[in-house]
Amino acid sequence: MLEINFKAFDSEKVKYSTLSLNIIFLINDKSLKNKLNKLDKTYNIKLSKLQKENLLSEDVSEIRVAKQNGQPDEFLFHKVKLDEKFNADYFRNYCAGLISKIKNEKIKEVHVSIPKHSTFKKYFNDESYFYQTFAEGFVLGNYNFDKYLSDKKAHGKLNIIFNSDNLLLLRKALNNAKFVTEGVNFTKDLQNEPGITLTPSEFAKRISSKFRGTSVKVTVMNEREIKQRKMGGLLAVGMGSSNPPRFIVMRYNGLKGKANKSKPIAIVGKGITFDSGGISIKPSNGMGEMKADMSGAAVVVGLLLAAEKAKLPVNLIGIIASAENMPSGTSMRPGDIVITSSGKSIEVDNTDAEGRMVLADALHYASKQKPQMIIDLATLTGACVVALGELAAGMFTKDDKLKDKLYSSGLKTYDRVWQMPLWDDYNYLIKSNVADVKNIGGRWGGAITAAKFLEMFVDKNIPWVHLDIAGPAMPNDFNNYTKKYMTGFGVRLLFDFLSE
Distance CA 37, CA 361 (A): 66
Phi (first) and psi of residue 355, to 5 degrees: -60, -40
Q: For residues 381 and 449, is the Cβ–Cβ distance under 8 A?
A: no
Cβ proximity of 269 and 249 under 8 Å: no
Q: How far apart are CA 23 and CA 38, in angstroms?
A: 16
Q: How far apart (Å, rounded) are the C-alpha atoms in residues 95 and 138?
A: 5
Q: Which of 79, 210, 356, 438 is catalytic?
A: 356
H helices of 311-399, in order, are 355-368, 382-388
217 tagged catalytic: no
Q: Any idea what DSSP says for residue 298?
A: H
* Separation CA 162–CA 46 (nearest Å): 23
Give the separation between CA 95 and CA 25, rounded to whole angstroms: 12
User: In the β-sheet with 62-66, what is the strand arrangement from edge to edge?
Assistant: 3-10, 157-164, 109-113, 21-27, 74-80, 62-66
Angle at 3 between CA 204 and CA 5, to 5 degrees: 110
Q: What are phi and psi of 275, to 5 degrees?
A: -120, 100
Which of 282, 403, 405, 483 is catalytic? The answer is 282
CA atoms within 13 A on the CB side of 177: 27
Half-sphere exposure of 168 (CA within 13 A, CB side): 0
Q: Are strands 417-419 and 393-397 parallel, antiparallel or unpaired?
A: parallel
Question: Using an 8 Å Cβ cutoff, are 320 and 196 in contact?
Answer: no
Widest pairwise Cα distance in the chain = 83
Is 282 a residue of the active site? yes
Query: What is residue 72's DSSP assignment?
Result: S
Question: What does the DSSP 8-state code read for residue 414?
Answer: S
Q: Which positions are catalytic?
A: 282, 356
